[in-house]
Amino acid sequence: MTLNRHVYTSITSNYLPKARVLAESVKRADPNTMFHLVLSDSLPVGWEATSEPFDSVIYAHDLVTERFHSWAFGHSVVEMCTAVKGVALEYIFSEHSADQVFYFDPDMVVFSRLDDLSEQLAMCSIVLTPHLTDPDPTDMGIQDNELASLIHGVFNLGFLGVRNVPEGRRFSRWWASRLLDYCHDDIPRGLFTDQKWVNLAPCFFDDVGVLRSPAFNVATWNLATRKATGSLEDGICINGEPLGFYHFSGFDSGDQITMLERYGKDSPVLYALRQWYIAECERHGQSALGKLPSRYAAFDNGETIKNEQRILYRQRIDLQRAFPNPYQAQGTGSYKAWYDAHPEEHPASGSVAVQPGVPMAAVLEDLARYFNSQLVTGVARTRVKRAVLRLWIKFLMLAAAVAR
């Protein structure tokens, strides 16, 4: 019986070049594997589906149909692309009757051993790859990599495999539900988009497979214990095993080359691999598409949405009800107009008031926002306390205006 295997990735249009490189690599490994592009954006001008390596495009607004604009506004672009991964997984299972579904981040490339991944998944319900599979040998590595895993999640959710069996689907439904409501980059609350959630997977679900082979999900954060040999022409091996897939994480920020120089000096083939990847992305339009703005990164007047505007909106049910489409910026009845008219409501930074050298007006405004958060969250429970807080807020905002 032929395996009905599907792969997907999730992007905005500026990541199309990387997604094309990934999709082509999957098709080279197995032309019969279906590849789906999940898009939280509009397609760019000149898009021609027939010339693309994708079998389908799945739009975020078709996956999250209830109050989509309100939901999307509460997420940064990265958070939204991550938040739809769970519902996209459920969609592919339901619409395509997939036997196995693998997720790959768009900045990955599959080189071989796709069948090995399927064989591993055939023995369990879920397959995960840890950031690290061996202890780091140096204090620098502990600080760079082991501490990062403790903060951001044990497993790297740039990769995930789920099988269409009852336990796999139970995981899929749980993961989709958590990501829809709690996929935020909020380390103080214990959240780092989807990764911290999957720390719980081995506790909640049976048949969770942890893929510890050094040749899968190779990235700069695990190079301290993995050595690459061979060549692009003859094939790359990691600790003697044929390379399965490589993760070019941190490429655009510059972190990838910084960490490669720190941990990959004994693996010169990885520098050749990096240059190959740059050329492949460029061949697929990196210069033209790489800086495309996402349609969900700005209000409809083109003004970039600030993270503080998103955070306040997603924290306040009253604002979500009053402004069901917060992207609309025209007129006095918009969320943006309301936000601009109520500076005392803006989220407090939580740190300005204790930083030396900060302008007095900023300190006063931050205190006013902190007091307002006490009102909104109901910390001030009595009528007298609420009245006192309102007086302080008015006084502080007036004092801030004078201090300017």
In this prediction, residue 379 carries a pLDDT of: 54
End-to-end CA distance of the chain: 73
In this prediction, residue 1 carries a pLDDT of: 60
Contact yes or no for 316/322 (Cβ under 8 A)? no
In this prediction, residue 376 carries a pLDDT of: 57
In this prediction, residue 358 carries a pLDDT of: 63
**Residues 345, 340: Cα–Cα separation, whole Å:** 10
| 3-state percent breakdown (helix, strand, coil) of the chain, nearest 5 | 50, 15, 35
In this prediction, residue 357 carries a pLDDT of: 61
**Residues 44, 157: Cα–Cα separation, whole Å:** 27
In this prediction, residue 204 carries a pLDDT of: 97
Q: What does the radius of gyration of the chain's CA atoms come to, in whole angstroms?
A: 24
Task: From residue 154, give the alpha-carbon distance in Å to each of 112, 189, 313.
Answer: 25, 17, 30
Query: What parts of the chain have a pLDDT lower than 50?
Result: 350-353
**Residues 121, 210: Cα–Cα separation, whole Å:** 10
The encoded tokens of residue 43 equal 């397609």
In this prediction, residue 377 carries a pLDDT of: 53
Domains, the chain, ordered by start = 5-289 (3.90.550.10), 307-403 (no CATH)
The number of beta carbons lying within 10 Å of the beta carbon of residue 313 is 19
Q: What is the DSSP letter of 380?
A: S
The greatest distance separating any two alpha carbons of the chain, rounded to the nearest whole angstrom, comes to: 76
CB neighbour list of residue 156: distance below 8 Å, 6 or more residues apart: 129, 130, 131, 195, 217, 219, 247
Please tell me the total number of residues recorded for the chain in this structure: 404
Helix (H, G, I), strand (E, B) or coil at 231: strand
In this prediction, residue 338 carries a pLDDT of: 95
What pTM does this model have?
0.85
Task: From residue 391, give the alpha-carbon distance in Å to each of 34, 98, 372, 387.
Answer: 61, 60, 11, 6
Nearest to 292 by CA among 39, 22, 37: 39
Digit-coded pLDDT (tens) for 87-116: 999 999 999 999 999 999 999 999 999 999
Between helix 360-377 and helix 383-403 the angle, nearest 10°, is 160
Q: Please, which contacts does 90-96 make with residues 24 or more away whose CB atoms are closer than 8 Å?
A: 90/172, 90/173, 90/176, 91/58, 91/63, 92/6, 92/8, 92/36, 92/58, 93/164, 93/169, 93/172, 96/4, 96/6, 96/34
Q: Which DSSP string corresponds to 73-118? A: HTS-HHHHHHHTHHHHHHHHHHHH--SEEEEE-TTEEE-S-HHHHH
**Residues 75, 151: Cα–Cα separation, whole Å:** 20
Q: Are strands 108-110 and 245-247 parallel, antiparallel or unpaired?
A: antiparallel
Q: Which DSSP string corresponds to 9-24? A: EEE-GGGHHHHHHHHH
In this prediction, residue 349 carries a pLDDT of: 54
